[in-house]
Amino acid sequence: MKLIIVESPTKAKTISRFLSADFKVESSFGHIRDLPKSKLGIDIEHNFEPQYVIPAKSKKKVGELKKLAQKTETIILATDEDREGEAIAWHLTQALGLGNSKFEIRNSKLPRVKRIVFHEITKKAIEQALLNPRNIDMNLVDSQQARRILDRLVGYKLSPFLWRKLMRGLSAGRVQSVTLRLIVDKENEIRDFKSETYWTIVAGLRTSDLHVEVGGPQAFEAILIKISNQSIPKPGLREKKEVDEILENLKNSQWEIIALEKKALERSPYPPFTTSTLQQTGWQRLRFSAKKTMMLAQNLYENGLITYMRTDSLNISEEALAQTQSFLKENFEPKYVLPKPRKFKTKSKLAQEAHEAVRPTDAANAPEKIKTKLTADQFRLYDLIWRRFVASQMPNAIFESTSVLVSAESEVRLPAGSRTSEISPKYTFQAKGSVLKFDGFLKIYPMKQEDALLPELKKGQELKAKEIKSEEHQTQPPARYNEASLVKTLEKFGIGRPSTYAPIISVIQERGYVQKNEQKRFAPTEIGEKVNVLLVENFPEIVDVEFTSKMEEDLDEIAEGKKQWTPVIRNFYEPFEKNLEEKYQTVKKQDLTEPSEEICEKCGQPMVFKHGRFGRFLACSGFPECKNAKKIPPVSLNIPCPKCSEGEIVERRTKTGRIFFGCSKYPDCDYATWQKPSASN
């Protein structure tokens, strides 16, 4: 018998379907060794040697796998082909006693160990992998180990500093703290933003004297872009007086089309998904968080429906391309089939593994065909992945784009008593429109079109103005990050890796450092801002974007065998530890009190807000002479509790300041949710 070990029971079940009774497929249920929770677990004095332990929850499973290993002729490690998967494979060899620390198989009675990898869980992929085993890649293992040690050193050393200088229960992290800084910096940009008023001038034009509503078949809108051949500065006109003068001048203007350009525009399909673009589009189109998207993608992968979902690559196998071509020929008109497959070049310099892009394992598995096998959310994500990939192998969409320039000129009477007149400035308006001539890939991957539809027009044609109006606007502050834009920014700056974005975003919310507002955008909490200020002022490298990006590059070079992991850790740790010792001596404990409008009923002094183990509370400013303290009354949403119907939904906070919503009858009713309820839901 041959034993195959993978990470998850779902993956094991899927692989079992493709193999004979000669194989037994078992799951390790994820990592079976890790650093201890109760101590640092790193021997700093001896080259940062990690002191791994088998967690209590994994001991039974390790024992079972050991017994199986002793009875089998061959052990095949089939964990994922990335750094985490490689590390799990290596940890299995250590926990099961299959090799030394460098994975050199001992001359013993223990079975021979093989490592296999594959990008998709299909019969053919598994069979090919079994024919091409390889050794464990210790460069990948070292890179994963270096990341784990770095993260442990920062978290384990810096979190107690926050406890002493701010409050207990706080945490810092090598990547989470930089992400928090991005969100706080954005909030400061918004606070510092000074809104300005500007105007645009819009003309509703028609092509005949007949009464036609603006937006009707012979009418369209154009916007003022030039005055006497001088372009209007962005975003628009700044002076109301000038706007009123222009509107007055335009009242009796002659309107004529002075330029008209029509051209065919082609729109190419997006490439298939990478991990990053999958998370971004999952939010934009489905409103799935990065965490939810990755969880669902993992389910789809382990069930053999999509390729491996942790990838920076846009590569597509020749077999998959040929398969998709056949599917399109069988199901679409010839005009929707490309003469040869479309290939995409991977742009990311950070691509770690030679994976394929995220795609369905079989294009013939159209979403509706397998809908009954999936949950509603699994179906929605699979549908998105399938459409994106199949669309990438379809022709460009073709539009007819029209750009029109319209001039407006009129005579302006000079002041009373004058017998002459002068020509007013020449005003130039612009309108753009487009018509879809061939949908191409849009047939299965629809996208919003911005331009309006224009009537048939020609150069020299005279027009009539139905209405001329000014529109007042305010310049807008930068938008807060949402799930998609935060993922895009993390990738842009090289902070973390796409596979780590979901846990990063989750942890800063769980810690109460940021929360989503009603527009589902991230805003820092009060405690999040205070943590950020303390870290920026005292540990600038830890929250520096460039420093963090450089560290990711070092980890990449370890994975490529270009650097040794121990010097990378040492070069980071020694100055970090020295600075930490200094800051313990020089940084004073911060007062987290805030003024309130409450007056202490015991001594008459003002009450202040304080942060404690269980969140914010009111305390007398006369402490310690007066020890009066009380809870902050929760804010009611005036919505009945959906669980007990007796209480109302109230806003509460966790001990770290994160807002959640629960029943006013707590503890009699334990209803609670992170999402702000509304009367409609």
Question: CB neighbours (10 Å) of residue 570?
Answer: 12
At position 246, the amino acid (one-letter code) is I
Report the mean per-residue pLDDT for the chain. 91
Alpha-carbon radius of gyration of the chain? 32
Q: pLDDT over 90 for what percent of the chain?
A: 78
pLDDT (0 to 100) of residue 209? 52
At position 373, the amino acid (one-letter code) is K
pLDDT band at 656 (very low <50, low <70, confident <90, very high): low
Cα 383 to Cα 166, 309, 444: the distances in Å are: 47, 15, 10
Residue that is written with structure tokens 């964990």 in the block? 79
Sheet bearing 635-640, strands edge to edge: 635-640, 648-653, 659-663, 672-673
Two tokens, residue 253: 């203007």
Measured in degrees and rounded to the nearest 5, phi and psi for residue 545 equal -60, -45
Q: In terms of Cα–Cα distance, which of 460, 457, 458, 434 is closest to 447?
A: 434
Q: In terms of Cα–Cα distance, which of 73, 95, 99, 59 is closest to 4?
A: 73
Question: CB neighbours (10 Å) of residue 493?
Answer: 16
**Lowest-confidence segment of 258-272, 308-322, 554-568, 629-643 by average pLDDT:** 629-643
pLDDT beyond 70 at 671 = yes
Q: How far apart are CA 160 and CA 343, in angstroms?
A: 51
Question: What angle do helix axes 526-538 and 138-165 make, rounded to 10 degrees?
Answer: 110
Q: How far apart are CA 94 and CA 110, in angstroms?
A: 13
Question: CB neighbours (10 Å) of residue 288?
Answer: 23
644 Cα distance to chain centroid: 36
367-399 pLDDT, tens digit per residue, is: 999 999 999 999 999 999 999 999 999 999 999
pLDDT beyond 50 at 347 = yes
Measured in degrees and rounded to the nearest 5, phi and psi for residue 631 equal -70, 155
In the chain, count of helices (H) and strands (E)? 17, 25
Two tokens, residue 182: 């991005």
Residues in the chain: 681
Q: How far apart are CA 317 and CA 311, in angstroms?
A: 14
pLDDT band at 416 (very low <50, low <70, confident <90, very high): low
Two tokens, residue 433: 């429109």
- Measured at the CA of 303, the angle between CA 298 and CA 304, to 5 degrees, comes to 100
Pairing assessment for the beta strands 74-77 and 2-6 based on DSSP bridges = parallel
> CA-based diameter of the chain, in Å?
116
pLDDT (0 to 100) of residue 675? 82
Residues 6+ apart with CB under 8 A from 142: 558, 559, 564, 565
424-454 pLDDT, tens digit per residue, is: 679 999 999 998 999 999 999 999 876 678 8
pLDDT beyond 50 at 61 = yes
Q: Point out the residues that are catalytic.
A: 308
Cα 568 to Cα 498, 575, 610: the distances in Å are: 22, 12, 41
pLDDT beyond 60 at 504 = yes
pLDDT beyond 70 at 293 = yes
pLDDT (0 to 100) of residue 412? 57
Q: How far apart are CA 446 and CA 458, in angstroms?
A: 31
**Lowest-confidence segment of 236-240, 367-371, 568-572, 612-616 by average pLDDT:** 612-616
Question: CB neighbours (10 Å) of residue 94?
Answer: 16
Provide the β-strand partners of residue 406.
257, 429
DSSP structural state of residue 252: G
User: How much helix, strand and coil, in percent to the nearest 5, is found in the chain?
Assistant: 35, 25, 40
pLDDT (0 to 100) of residue 526? 86
Q: In terms of Cα–Cα distance, which of 588, 464, 616, 587 is closest to 527?
A: 616
pLDDT (0 to 100) of residue 353? 46
Q: How far apart are CA 213 and CA 215, in angstroms?
A: 6
pLDDT (0 to 100) of residue 108? 41
pLDDT band at 420 (very low <50, low <70, confident <90, very high): very low
Q: What mean pLDDT do residues 225-229 have?
A: 93
Could you tell me the sign of the dihedral formed by the alpha carbons of 99, 104, 107, 113, in that order?
positive
Two tokens, residue 599: 């007056």
At position 290, the amino acid (one-letter code) is A
Measured in degrees and rounded to the nearest 5, phi and psi for residue 198 equal -145, 165
Residues 6+ apart with CB under 8 A from 229: 426, 428
Helix ranges restricted to H, 539-636: 545-559, 565-586
Q: Cβ(219)–Cβ(464) under 8 Å?
A: no
pLDDT band at 634 (very low <50, low <70, confident <90, very high): confident
Cα 315 to Cα 243, 269, 333, 441: the distances in Å are: 54, 15, 26, 19
Q: How far apart are CA 662 and CA 650, in angstroms?
A: 6
Q: In terms of Cα–Cα distance, which of 494, 610, 501, 507 is closest to 546?
A: 494
Q: What is the set of domains in the chain, with CATH numbers?
A: 2-136 (3.40.50.140), 146-192+479-586 (1.10.460.10), 197-268+397-474 (2.70.20.10), 275-392 (1.10.290.10), 594-673 (no CATH)
Q: Cβ(324)–Cβ(393) under 8 Å?
A: yes
pLDDT band at 109 (very low <50, low <70, confident <90, very high): very low
pLDDT beyond 70 at 71 = yes
pLDDT (0 to 100) of residue 452? 75
pLDDT beyond 50 at 553 = yes
pLDDT beyond 60 at 135 = yes
DSSP string across 82-103: SHHHHHHHHHHHHHTT-S-TT-
Indicate the pTM of the whole model. 0.86
Q: Cβ(523)–Cβ(480) under 8 Å?
A: yes
**Lowest-confidence segment of 68-72, 97-101, 261-265 by average pLDDT:** 97-101
53 Cα distance to chain centroid: 33
pLDDT beyond 70 at 224 = yes
Q: How far apart are CA 429 and CA 409, in angstroms?
A: 11
5-50 pLDDT, tens digit per residue, is: 999 999 999 999 999 999 999 999 999 999 999 999 999 999 999 9
pLDDT (0 to 100) of residue 327? 98
- Which H or E run includes 617? strand 615-620
End-to-end CA, the chain: 55
Q: How far apart are CA 539 and CA 523, in angstroms?
A: 22
pLDDT (0 to 100) of residue 349? 54
pLDDT band at 657 (very low <50, low <70, confident <90, very high): low
